[in-house]
């Protein structure tokens, strides 16, 4: 038997590279390697730190630290979009012809930036992502919003370039791309099987206590200040005060060395009845979600909103801004509109009052169950991932 014929009866070799291994990226590649059959997986990751350095130098970092493993001979390459694929292929010739799938958890054209220096530095990351998408055989995005905003960003970027580029590269990327979300786990062992909201009009829990979750990275782009300001406005609304509702607050999510000042101010100035504060184990996190009523987002960007989808699946009613990926799975009457942070805090407070105080607010919504997010479950999506990788 020829060697290539023998290999066809064995598992194929798959290389997976995560160039900025944030928590959601780790969840994604662990899901793939645990669920996709017929492949022997090699996974190499780089820590999620020093973003701008990592965006420019990851190809070199991979090669300097892992050249032997990268040269081991693979049938497919799967990587996150931060990978500098052109540099990697140039430095590791063995990878130059390996069929490659690139997955976009986010794109560098829609990140809110802190300052002008960040805007200048992100140009490198934007250009790298364009070249990587052009080099790939297949490109996947986790949401329609992510795909749409990336392609729009590429179009604007090439128009800014002094020498210009053909706009046909936008079509080239679009023609080999599709949307395939990051799945959430369909099992019930980690959250008690809860799939509908606990919030019901007329029972003691709804009248007296409502559990409300905010669970995002503790960074400026998730706008925690808008959330805390909205709570302050909510607590003084006459309709809320008359309702007798008592909010039990769960503020979770990952924090880093620099934490926005609004978290400390919230603890010191009147944000009361805090039941959970800070990062939780996965088990505790899911338990809290399964026993909560509402989950709130104030994010300026969320390319899919994995945490929001997980909370909805566990029975929470979502309240979110009408932007980014949220309209893809959250009904319009649970979205609020705003154009600046102050307006947004007020709009969120009004929306929460409408939902938390049925019978008190003139525009109160009827109690409801959480939206259907079954299309995001792993038992619905794994077969699509398997087909994409097999097609490579």
pLDDT at 166: 86
Residue 306 has pLDDT above 50, yes or no: yes
Distances (CA, A) of 274 to 142, 247, 277, 385: 33, 9, 7, 40
Whether 305 and 347 share a structural domain:
yes
Contact status, residue 43 vs residue 16, Cβ threshold 8 Å? yes
Q: In this structure, is the dihedral angle defined by the CA atoms of residues 185, 189, 193 and 198, taken in order, positive or negative?
A: negative
pLDDT at 267: 84
Domain, as residue range, for 315: 204-375
Per-residue pLDDT tens digits for 363-382? 555 556 899 999 999 999 99
Residue 358: helix, strand or coil by DSSP? Answer: coil
Strands 100-104 and 209-215: unpaired
Whether 213 and 268 share a structural domain:
yes
pLDDT at 1: 34
Percentage of the chain exceeding pLDDT 70: 88
* Encoded tokens for 44: 């190499």
pLDDT at 196: 42
**pLDDT band of 206, cuts 50, 70, 90:** very low
pLDDT at 9: 46
User: Which of 77-81, 220-224, 287-291, 316-320 is the least confident region?
Assistant: 220-224
Asked whether residue 338 is assigned to any structural domain, the reply reads yes
Q: What is the DSSP string of 76-113?
A: EEEEETTS-HHHHHHH-GGGTTS-EEEEES--TTS---
pLDDT at 204: 43
- For residues 345-349, average pLDDT: 96
The length of the chain, given as a count of residues: 392
Contact status, residue 99 vs residue 392, Cβ threshold 8 Å? yes
Asked whether residue 293 is assigned to any structural domain, the reply reads yes
Asked whether residue 192 is assigned to any structural domain, the reply reads no
Whether 240 and 91 share a structural domain:
no
Whether 157 and 211 share a structural domain:
no
Percentage of the chain exceeding pLDDT 90: 72
Asked whether residue 35 is assigned to any structural domain, the reply reads yes
Whether 370 and 386 share a structural domain:
no
Asked whether residue 127 is assigned to any structural domain, the reply reads yes
pLDDT, mean over the chain = 88
Asked whether residue 198 is assigned to any structural domain, the reply reads no
Q: How many CB atoms lie under 10 A from the CB of residue 217?
A: 17
Whether 299 and 365 share a structural domain:
yes
**pLDDT band of 200, cuts 50, 70, 90:** very low
- For residues 170-189, average pLDDT: 89
Whether 363 and 384 share a structural domain:
no
Per-residue pLDDT tens digits for 60-70? 999 999 999 99
**pLDDT band of 270, cuts 50, 70, 90:** low
Asked whether residue 10 is assigned to any structural domain, the reply reads yes
Number of domains the chain is built from: 2
- For residues 311-320, average pLDDT: 97
Whether 98 and 223 share a structural domain:
no
CATH number for position 254: 3.40.50.2000
Residue 192 has pLDDT above 70, yes or no: no
Whether 166 and 219 share a structural domain:
no
Whether 257 and 165 share a structural domain:
no
* Encoded tokens for 78: 């799967």
CATH number for position 29: 3.40.50
Whether 139 and 226 share a structural domain:
no
Asked whether residue 385 is assigned to any structural domain, the reply reads yes
pTM for the model: 0.89
Torsion angle (degrees, nearest 10) of CA 31, 176, 48, 126: -170
Whether 169 and 239 share a structural domain:
no
User: Which of 56-70, 101-115, 165-179 is the least confident region?
Assistant: 101-115
**pLDDT band of 205, cuts 50, 70, 90:** very low
Residue 8 has pLDDT above 50, yes or no: no
Per-residue pLDDT tens digits for 9-31? 468 999 999 999 998 999 999 99
């Amino acid at each position: 038997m020829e060697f290539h014929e023998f290999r066809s009866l064995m598992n194929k070799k798959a290389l997976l590279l995560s160039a900025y291994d944030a928590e959601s990226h780790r969840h994604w590649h662990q899901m793939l390697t645990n669920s996709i059959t017929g492949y022997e997986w090699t996974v190499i990751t780089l820590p999620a730190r020093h973003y701008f350095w990592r965006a420019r130098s990851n190809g070199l970092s991979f090669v300097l630290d892992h050249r032997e493993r990268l040269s081991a001979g693979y049938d497919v390459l799967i990587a996150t979009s931060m990978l500098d694929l052109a540099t990697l292929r140039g430095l590791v010739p063995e990878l130059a012809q390996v069929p490659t799938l690139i997955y976009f958890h986010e794109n560098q054209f829609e990140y809110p930036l802190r300052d002008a220096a960040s805007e200048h530095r992100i140009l490198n990351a934007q250009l790298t992502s364009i070249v990587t998408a052009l080099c790939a055989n297949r490109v996947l995005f986790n949401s329609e919003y992510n795909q749409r905003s990336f392609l729009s960003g590429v179009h604007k970027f090439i128009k800014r370039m002094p020498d210009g580029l053909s706009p046909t590269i936008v079509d080239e990327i679009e023609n080999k791309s599709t949307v395939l979300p990051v799945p959430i786990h369909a099992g019930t062992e980690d959250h008690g099987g809860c799939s509908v909201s606990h919030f019901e009009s007329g029972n003691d829990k709804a009248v007296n206590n409502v559990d409300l979750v905010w669970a995002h990275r503790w960074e400026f782009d998730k706008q925690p200040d808008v959330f805390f300001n909205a709570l302050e406005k909510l607590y003084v609304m006459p309709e809320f005060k008359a309702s007798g509702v008592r909010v039990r607050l769960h503020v979770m999510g990952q924090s880093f060395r620099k934490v926005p000042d609004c978290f400390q101010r919230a603890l010191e100035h009147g944000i009361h009845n805090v039941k959970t504060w800070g990062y939780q184990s996965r088990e505790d996190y899911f338990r809290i979600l399964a026993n909560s009523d509402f989950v709130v987002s104030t994010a300026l960007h969320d390319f899919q909103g994995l945490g929001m989808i997980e909370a909805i699946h566990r029975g929470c009613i979502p309240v979110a801004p009408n932007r980014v990926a949220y309209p893809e799975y959250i009904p319009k009457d649970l979205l609020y509109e705003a154009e600046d942070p102050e307006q947004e805090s007020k709009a969120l407070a009004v929306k929460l009052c409408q939902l938390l105080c049925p019978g008190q607010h003139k525009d109160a919504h009827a109690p409801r169950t959480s939206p259907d997010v079954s299309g995001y479950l792993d038992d619905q999506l794994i077969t699509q991932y398997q087909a994409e990788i097999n097609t490579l």
